[in-house]
Structure 1
Amino acid sequence: MRQLGLIISHLFLLSWMPWVTGGNVQLTVGNGAEWGEWGQIDMCPEGHYASGFSLKVEDSQGGGDDTALNGIRLYCVDPNNNVNGDYATVESSVGRWGEWTPVKWCVSQFLASFMLRVEPLQGWGDDTGANNIKFNCSRSGAELEGDGMEWGSWGNWSIKCPEDAICGLQTLLEPPQGTGDDTALNDVRFFCCN
């Protein structure tokens, strides 16, 4: 029993550690759902960082099949040349259901860490996977909560980008299941640039 506790503690600590791939620190959380396949990595243009985000969310379907969170879009700005409010957008795989919510911004700051709201496996019930996301702003530590759904519970915060900010993402998306139970977006990884 004691050994099982040590293994669980070790796995929990590993879930908090960033992975380093391609020179960019990768931020992850341990509570994402596991259905689907990882989409393409999409990165901000060089020298740009994510300062805002919006979500693609399907509202409650009543007695129908709910998918909740279907996509995450990052709004990337150049900190040295943002006088006109110009930005670029990046997104990884996106589900077909829902509408894009208004953009939420870390004003004069960047997205630095995140947490996910995820509904656990429902057995014979309607699974939705990831439902919402929160980001932490780089300098003030302010929290921005997305306009996602309320099912499930919040996990732990990822680590913060060690330098600068989030500059890219990759989403885990389940493709449409036909007459089966659709979940759409289930997990996400973010990348930090310096």
Structure 2
Amino acid sequence: MESGAGAKLLLLLLLWVTRCGHARSGGPSDYTSVIEVTNGGPWGDWTWPEMCPDGFFASGFSTKVEPQQGIPGDDTALNGIRLHCARGNAERNTHVVESQSGKWGVWSEPLWCPGGGFIVAFSLRVEAPVTPGDNTAANNMRVRCSDGAELEGPGLVWGEFGSWSDPCPKGVCGLQTKIEPPRGLRDDTALNDVRFFCCRS
């Protein structure tokens, strides 16, 4: 196979895989913009996006956190984020979406925006790289709800919360995580960053 034809076949395969991934829970047409923060960790790669179903908004979230490991353990802190998408009664009519997560830790109970509100912005607590030392990258997350309420996850305390993201005018409806895969006997950080997708309607 000529190199040009091979490259075209690979591109078509990648487009097909991407479309199949979006088809699981909505597609790229379901959002209008992306909100991000500026203090995410430097390690890992962006994984797949996951979207709330049509007509659902992220009304709550939960986090996967590895407890402090002590010496000589390897801390990873925040490993994953789930969005709890709701339509109508937030705790009865829900759909949970999760991009890739790290392998360590346990999931917290969901935190819900009050009064049927929805998530519009977020902030990450991130530990800056330390050399030498045990890096953890993202440690915790806060969200701001449509009524102005702020919710903070049960994460760890290393690092600082950065600036808030821009707000989503109509709420958050999907997410994508940046994850460093397990590194064997070397220092692990797991979740480094996250971005959220703003709902179209």
Could you list the runs of 4 or more consecutive aligned residues of structure 1 that deviate by over 6 angstroms after TM superposition?
Answer: none
SS in 2 for 1:74: strand
Question: Which residue, out of 104, 120, 138, partners 2:111?
Answer: 104
Aligned CA distance change for structure 1 residues 94 and 83 (closer, same or farther; 3 Å) = closer
The AA in structure 1 aligned to 2:136 is T
TM-score (norm 1): 0.85
The 2-side partners of 1:83 and 1:36 are apart by 33
Following superposition of structure 1 onto structure 2, how do residues 68-107 of structure 1 map, counting pairs within 5 Å? 68-79=77-88, 82=89, 85-107=92-114
User: Which ranges of structure 2 fall in alignment gaps of 5 or more residues?
Assistant: 1-27
Alignment match, 1:161: 168
Aligned CA distance change for structure 1 residues 83 and 40 (closer, same or farther; 3 Å) = closer
Q: What's the offset of the Cα at 1:102?
A: 1.2
Alignment match, 1:114: 122
Q: In the TM superposition, what whole-angstrom CA distance separates every residue of 1:59-109 from its partner, at most 9, and x where no partner exists?
A: 000010000000000000114xx3871200001010000000111000210
Alignment match, 1:38: 46
Aligned CA distance change for structure 1 residues 84 and 117 (closer, same or farther; 3 Å) = closer
User: Which ranges of structure 1 fall in alignment gaps of 5 or more residues?
Assistant: 1-20
Aligned CA distance change for structure 1 residues 84 and 135 (closer, same or farther; 3 Å) = closer
The 1-side partners of 2:35 and 2:90 are apart by 29
SS in 1 for 2:34: strand
Alignment match, 1:12: none
The 1-side partners of 2:90 and 2:189 are apart by 40
* Contact in 1 for aligned 2:37/2:123 (Cα 8 Å): yes
The 1-side partners of 2:166 and 2:91 are apart by 31
Alignment match, 2:25: none
- Corresponding residue pairs, total: 170
- Seq. identity, %: 54
Aligned CA distance change for structure 1 residues 83 and 34 (closer, same or farther; 3 Å) = closer
Aligned CA distance change for structure 1 residues 85 and 186 (closer, same or farther; 3 Å) = same
* Contact in 1 for aligned 2:59/2:90 (Cα 8 Å): no
SS in 2 for 1:168: strand
Is residue 2:176 matched to residue 1:145? no
Following superposition of structure 1 onto structure 2, how do residues 28-67 of structure 1 map, counting pairs within 5 Å? 28-63=36-71, 64-67=73-76
Q: Which has the higher helix share?
A: 2
Q: What's the offset of the Cα at 1:25?
A: 1.0
SS in 2 for 1:40: strand
The 1-side partners of 2:131 and 2:35 are apart by 29
TM-score (norm 2): 0.82
